[in-house]
C-alpha cells in the first residue's frame, strides 16, 4: 500500500463548496482509479488542508497523480485550491488496522 499526502490551501470562502463537492469528486476518482482504497480530508492547525489517500500500490498512486486532471469532477474540485504545498507518496511498511469488535452486531 501507498499513502498519498497532498497539502494545500483554498481560496477564501471556498470551504463550503470544497466540502459539498468532495463526495462526487471522490466517487469520480474511484471510478477512474479503483485502486484508491480510502480518502481522508483533514484541516491542519494553521488553516491549511492535507488530503490523505490510500492506494493499493505506488504505481497506481503515481498513475492517478499523473492523470487526475483528466477526470472532470477532480479538475473542477481543484479550482478551490489557491496554493499547493506539494504532493508526495509514502510506502506503508507496517499496518495494524483495528479489528472489528468481537460479537458486535449491526443495527
Residue 98: per-residue pLDDT:
82
Predicted pLDDT of residue 26: 98
Q: What is the pLDDT of residues 4-18, one digit of tens each?
A: 999 999 999 999 999
pLDDT tens for the 107 residues of the chain, in order: 999 999 999 999 999 999 999 999 999 999 999 999 999 999 999 999 999 999 999 999 999 999 999 999 999 999 999 999 999 999 999 998 888 776 666 55
Longest dimension (CA), the chain: 47
Amino acid at each position: 500500500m501507498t499513502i498519498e499526502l497532498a497539502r494545500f490551501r483554498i481560496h477564501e470562502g471556498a470551504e463550503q463548496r470544497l466540502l459539498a463537492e468532495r463526495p462526487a469528486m471522490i466517487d469520480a476518482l474511484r471510478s477512474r482509479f479503483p485502486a484508491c482504497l480510502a480518502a481522508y480530508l483533514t484541516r491542519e492547525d494553521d488553516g491549511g488542508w492535507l488530503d490523505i489517500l490510500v492506494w493499493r500500490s505506488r504505481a497506481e498512486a503515481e498513475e492517478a497523480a499523473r492523470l487526475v486532471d483528466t477526470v472532470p469532477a477532480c479538475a473542477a474540485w481543484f479550482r478551490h485550491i489557491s496554493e499547493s504545498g506539494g504532493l508526495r507518496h509514502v510506502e506503508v511498511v507496517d499496518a495494524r488496522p483495528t479489528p472489528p469488535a468481537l460479537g458486535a452486531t449491526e443495527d
